[in-house]
């Protein structure tokens, strides 16, 4: 299958080698976008067979994915799978993601179709459920986990989605996809919380999350 894997990574030197190696078992091309790491994430990824795109400074996961999408679109692949470099997203499910995207435009791996979501903090689970509810109502979708970053796409769908924000990209991308009539499907994949590295969710992030998500949703609703 003419597909590639995109891995946004920030200071994932501890885990990136294994993720790249396992991803390369399923696709010929793996692109790691090193988002301003201060460790040797990029060097390790390259040593293990990944193509590396470097950001000079940390710009956020949305910006890293955008760089990866640009590489995929320009290289002419038909399908793209994205997963994190911290082993929260198990690469062994890449074939499942690619199989599912044959029947739709975009696939989201859901923690809420199995019990793995119960391992996340209660406040975070509530937040995911609330904004999933809003996206479903505003976009006419029937989803369970809109913040999941483990996704697969037809490359032509990425062209239709266009620009993506540098941060809080998942809600905006999902709502935009739903409102533009893309066929979105979820499959059940267990995703335990990360146990290495530094999470993007700090106390400040939790506090600001509702306000930022409200602005994201308003921006999509007001756009054409």
Provide the residue ranges of all domains of the chain, joining segments of one domain with +: 3-222
The pLDDT score that the predictor gives to residue 163 is: 75
Of the candidates 107, 151, 152, the residue with the CA atom closest to the CA atom of residue 1: 152
- pLDDT over threshold 60, residue 222: yes
The pLDDT score that the predictor gives to residue 219 is: 66
The pLDDT score that the predictor gives to residue 103 is: 95
**E strand intervals along the chain:** 3-9, 29-35, 51-55, 79-82, 106-110, 151-154, 184-188
Of the candidates 66, 83, 71, the residue with the CA atom closest to the CA atom of residue 15: 83
Burial (0-12, 13-18, 19+ Cβ within 10 Å), 56:
exposed
pLDDT tens across 10-44, in order? 999 999 999 999 999 999 999 999 999 999 999 99
Phi-psi region of 33 (alpha: psi -120 to 50; beta: other; left: phi over 0): beta
Q: What angle do CA 15, 94, 78 make, to 5 degrees?
A: 120
Q: What is the pTM of this model?
A: 0.89
Domain 3-222 grouped into CATH 2.70.70.10: no
The pLDDT score that the predictor gives to residue 27 is: 97
Please tell me the distance from the alpha carbon of residue 129 to that of residue 148, in angstroms, as a whole number.
12
Please tell me the distance from the alpha carbon of residue 112 to that of residue 128, in angstroms, as a whole number.
10
pLDDT tens across 104-147, in order? 999 999 999 999 999 998 988 988 998 899 899 989 999 999 99
The pLDDT score that the predictor gives to residue 164 is: 76
Share of the chain above pLDDT 70, in %: 86
Which residues are bridge partners to 109 per DSSP? 187
pLDDT tens across 146-201, in order? 999 999 999 999 998 877 777 778 988 999 999 999 999 999 999 988 665 555 54
* Average pLDDT value for the chain: 90
pLDDT tier for residue 210 given thresholds of 50, 70 and 90? low
Q: What is the mean pLDDT of residues 195-224?
A: 60
Please tell me the distance from the alpha carbon of residue 144 to that of residue 133, in angstroms, as a whole number.
8
Q: What is the mean pLDDT of residues 56-62?
A: 93
The pLDDT score that the predictor gives to residue 205 is: 54
The pLDDT score that the predictor gives to residue 184 is: 98
Give me the phi and psi of 69, to 5 degrees please: -60, -40
Please tell me the distance from the alpha carbon of residue 22 to that of residue 25, in angstroms, as a whole number.
5
The pLDDT score that the predictor gives to residue 167 is: 72
**E strand intervals along 51-127:** 51-55, 79-82, 106-110
């Amino acid at each position: 299958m003419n597909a590639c894997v995109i891995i946004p990574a920030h200071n994932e030197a501890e885990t990136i080698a294994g993720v790249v190696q396992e991803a390369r078992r399923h696709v010929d091309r793996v692109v790691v976008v090193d988002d301003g790491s201060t460790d040797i994430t990029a060097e390790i990824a390259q040593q293990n067979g990944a193509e590396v795109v470097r950001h000079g400074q940390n710009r956020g996961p949305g910006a890293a994915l955008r760089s990866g999408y640009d590489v995929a679109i320009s290289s002419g692949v038909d399908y793209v799978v994205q997963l994190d470099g911290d082993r929260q997203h198990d690469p062994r499910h890449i074939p499942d993601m690619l199989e599912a995207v044959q029947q739709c435009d975009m696939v989201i791996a859901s923690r809420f179709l199995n019990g793995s979501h119960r391992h996340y903090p209660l406040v975070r689970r509530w937040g995911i459920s609330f904004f999933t509810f809003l996206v479903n109502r505003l976009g006419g979708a029937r989803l369970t986990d809109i913040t999941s970053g483990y996704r697969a796409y037809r490359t032509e769908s990425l062209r239709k989605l266009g620009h993506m924000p540098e941060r809080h990209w998942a809600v905006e991308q999902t709502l935009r996809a739903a409102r533009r009539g893309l066929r979105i499907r979820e499959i059940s994949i267990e995703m335990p919380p990360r146990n290495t590295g530094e999470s993007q969710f700090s106390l400040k992030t939790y506090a600001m999350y509702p306000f930022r998500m409200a602005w994201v949703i308003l921006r999509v609703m007001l756009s054409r």
